[in-house]
Amino acid sequence: MLYRVHANRHAFLSDRAYTADESVDGAADTWDQPLRGNFNQLLKLKKQHPGLKILWSFDGWTWSSGFGEAAKNPAAFAQSCHDLVNDPTWGGLFDGIDIDWEYPNACGNTCDTSGRDAFKNVMAALRQKFGAGKLVTAAITADATSGGKIDAADYPGTAQYVDWYNPMTYDYFGAWDAGGPTAPHSPLTSYPGIPKADFTTSSTIAKLKGLGIPASKLLLGIGFYGRGWTGVGQAAPGGTATGPAAGTYEQGIDDYKVLKTKCPATGTVGGTAYAKCGNDWWSCDTPATIATKMTYKNQQDLGGTFFWELSGDTANGELIKAIG
């Protein structure tokens, strides 16, 4: 089992005090203990489950703009990451590092112009600093279009430095295109009328394997949430919309555990599920569509599966139980 801790959340994770009934081992945090909060709970969990691996994941969509600066001095960046991950305050907690750069030499929340080799240089420096005994991984783009984000960086040349890649095979489509057309955000395969060719999981995996990246270093990504539009008139994919559907935390997105009741799936397309409820149209993976994706993952000899993220699942873990 692998657990990723995002860097921008570390203050909350390391400071929150746990009561006895919340704690992994039934012992409450005290005000004067050296480490408390989620970091302390994760240490306790690792003692109970020695096979659990925990990585510190750096950045993501919102925070990736800093990587351009880091790429100017990869060795210094790697040293700072090593010092943080191995801080004696939480010694023994982290088994390595995950880099979530969205996206090297391409545009995400901001645009990066650090060059095609920047990602490789950063990951090479991290591997050199962390050594063979620690995990070094990366979440990477799923854009398999010709001249797209996969082509913008040297992902094949960087593969030698990582234990595995997490291609983010979700969020292909969403209500950032407010008028539609409606489309499932995590299709496994193409289908008639898909808004953009090669925006599918199978296209992403095929492209990465075709570039020479070993299948064993590719994990299949699953979203534990759905994306949706409102103002939609037709049930089938491809309809027009007036904007994002209302969500629990933000517009256009909601957890599977919410959608299961609010807008349960009624159809499948491209190996994932969708439904129209009133004027809203949603797509998400279900236990059944995840099972289909696991068959594909096994056929492709991929290294495993990852998902974003656990709180989107039901209390009894319907989605995580479907992963195999």
- Give the pLDDT score at 241: 98
Q: Are 69 and 21 in contact (CB under 8 A)?
A: no
Confidence bin at 16 (pLDDT 50/70/90): confident
- Give the pLDDT score at 15: 74
Q: Report the pLDDT averaged over residues 263-284.
A: 98
Q: Inform me whether the pLDDT recorded for 8 exceeds 50.
A: no
Q: Inform me whether the pLDDT recorded for 55 exceeds 90.
A: yes
Please report, for the chain, the start and end positions of each structural domain, with discontinuous segments joined by +.
2-223+286-322
235-268 tens-digit pLDDT: 999 999 999 999 999 999 999 999 999 999 999 9
Other CB atoms within a 10 A radius of the CB of residue 76 amount to 11
Retrieve residue 104's tokens: 């090297």
- Give the pLDDT score at 71: 97
Other CB atoms within a 10 A radius of the CB of residue 103 amount to 25
- Give the pLDDT score at 324: 83
- Give the pLDDT score at 221: 98
Q: Are 75 and 125 in contact (CB under 8 A)?
A: yes
Other CB atoms within a 10 A radius of the CB of residue 9 amount to 12
Percent of the chain with pLDDT over 90: 93
Residue 12 identity (one-letter amino acid): F
With CA atoms as reference, report the closest residue to 267 among 307, 297, 238: 238
Q: Report the pLDDT averaged over residues 224-238.
A: 98
Instruction: Kindly state the DSSP code that residue 111 receives in the 8-state scheme.
Output: B
**CA distances (Å), 95 to each of 78, 106, 268, in order?**
15, 29, 38
Other CB atoms within a 10 A radius of the CB of residue 94 amount to 21
Q: Inform me whether the pLDDT recorded for 13 exceeds 70.
A: no
Q: Which of 22, 69, 102, 318 is catalytic?
A: 102
Q: Report the pLDDT averaged over residues 63-88.
A: 96
Confidence bin at 67 (pLDDT 50/70/90): very high
Percent of the chain with pLDDT over 70: 96
Q: Report the pLDDT averaged over residues 187-211.
A: 98
With CA atoms as reference, report the closest residue to 187 among 324, 59, 48, 283: 283
The span from the CA of 210 to the CA of 213, in Å, is 7
First-to-final CA distance of the chain? 12
- Give the pLDDT score at 1: 54
112-156 tens-digit pLDDT: 999 999 999 999 999 999 999 999 999 999 999 999 999 999 999
Q: Report the pLDDT averaged over residues 159-167.
A: 98
The span from the CA of 218 to the CA of 163, in Å, is 9
The residue that leads in pLDDT, 253 or 13, is: 253
Question: What is the average pLDDT value for the chain, to the nearest integer?
Answer: 95
- Give the pLDDT score at 101: 98
Q: Inform me whether the pLDDT recorded for 63 exceeds 80.
A: yes
The span from the CA of 13 to the CA of 1, in Å, is 19
- Give the pLDDT score at 4: 59
Q: Is 102 an annotated catalytic residue?
A: yes
Q: What is the pTM of this model?
A: 0.94
Q: Are 165 and 138 in contact (CB under 8 A)?
A: yes
Q: Inform me whether the pLDDT recorded for 7 exceeds 70.
A: no
Q: 2-223+286-322 — its CATH code?
A: 3.20.20.80
Kindly give, in sequence order, each residue whose CB lies less than 8 Å from that of residue 222, ignoring residues fewer than 6 positions away: 169, 170, 186, 285, 290, 293, 305, 306, 307, 308, 319, 323
- Give the pLDDT score at 3: 52
Retrieve residue 198's tokens: 């090669």
